[in-house]
């Protein structure tokens, strides 16, 4: 049976690996599962990935806007990323996570995702042109060594997108 690791130890080890990776000049990105799609997020665009806390629903909002979450005394608006992208809503299982958008965007937003997949370095993957009509939040697309598709999320583009900002119905 694998040894259990506390969340605090996991986050500390991840921070150490990120520090080592950045000093080595690698271009690792945070990999997340959002519905059936795998996405990459630049580490500078995310504060952290946390287990899903209690979410308070807000009336008269779009189905993909899940509500508000209190994270260490700060309120975050919670957007179900796969549902926003037109897919199925994230089931609130043990694997579900909130990706907190970096403070520099001043959005106080959190993206509900199906799970975190660790770090990936797309430097050796084959880049593909984004599909026509792709949202402003799609920075790049890749195919990895095993033929798997990946998309890179542009959080700056996402938090400026009119559709993302319009949560009321």
Q: What confidence category does residue 31 fall into, taking pLDDT thresholds of 50, 70 and 90?
A: very high
User: Is the distance from CB of 29 to CB of 48 less than 8 angstroms?
Assistant: no
The DSSP bridge pattern shows strands 115-120 and 97-101 to be: unpaired
Topology at the third CATH level for domain 7-124+159-165: OB fold (Dihydrolipoamide Acetyltransferase, E2P) (2.40.50)
What would the two tokens of residue 143 be? 């195919």
Q: Of 132, 113, 131, nearest to 40 (Cα)?
A: 113
Q: What confidence category does residue 1 fall into, taking pLDDT thresholds of 50, 70 and 90?
A: very low
pLDDT at position 13: 74
pLDDT at position 26: 57
Q: Of 99, 109, 98, nearest to 75 (Cα)?
A: 109
* pTM confidence score: 0.82
What would the two tokens of residue 72 be? 């260490």
Alpha-carbon separation of residue 132 from 101, 135, 148, 150, 159 (angstroms):
26, 9, 20, 16, 20
CA atoms of 151 and 128, how far apart (whole Å): 10
- Tally helices (H) and strands (E) across the chain: 4, 12
pLDDT of 3 > 70? The answer is no
- How confident is the model over 61-67, as a mean pLDDT? 97
Lowest mean pLDDT among 24-28, 72-76, 163-167: 24-28
- How confident is the model over 102-113, as a mean pLDDT? 95
Residue given tokens 């271009």 in the structure block? 27
- How confident is the model over 97-104, as a mean pLDDT? 96
pLDDT of 17 > 70? The answer is no
Residue given tokens 């209690």 in the structure block? 54
pLDDT of 100 > 90? The answer is yes
CA angle (162, 165, 168) in 5-degree steps = 110
Q: What confidence category does residue 136 fall into, taking pLDDT thresholds of 50, 70 and 90?
A: confident
> Domain extents for the chain?
7-124+159-165
pLDDT at position 18: 60
pLDDT at position 2: 54
């Amino acid at each position: 049976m694998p040894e259990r690791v506390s969340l605090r130890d996991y986050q500390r080890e991840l921070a150490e690996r990120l520090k080592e990776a950045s000093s080595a000049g690698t271009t690792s990105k945070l990999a997340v599962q959002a519905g059936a799609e795998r996405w990459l997020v630049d580490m500078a665009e995310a504060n952290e990935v946390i287990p899903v806390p209690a979410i308070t629903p807000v009336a008269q909002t779009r189905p993909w806007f899940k509500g508000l979450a209190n994270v260490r005394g700060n309120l975050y608006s919670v957007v179900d990323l796969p549902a926003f992208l037109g897919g199925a809503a994230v089931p609130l299982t043990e694997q579900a996570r909130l990706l907190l958008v970096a403070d520099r965007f001043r959005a106080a937003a959190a993206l509900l995702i199906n799970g975190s997949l660790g770090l990936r370095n797309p430097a050796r993957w084959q880049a593909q042109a984004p599909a026509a009509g792709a949202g402003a939040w799609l920075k790049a697309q890749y195919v990895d060594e095993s033929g798997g598709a990946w998309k890179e999320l542009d959080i700056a583009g996402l938090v400026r997108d009119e559709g993302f900002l319009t949560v009321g119905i």
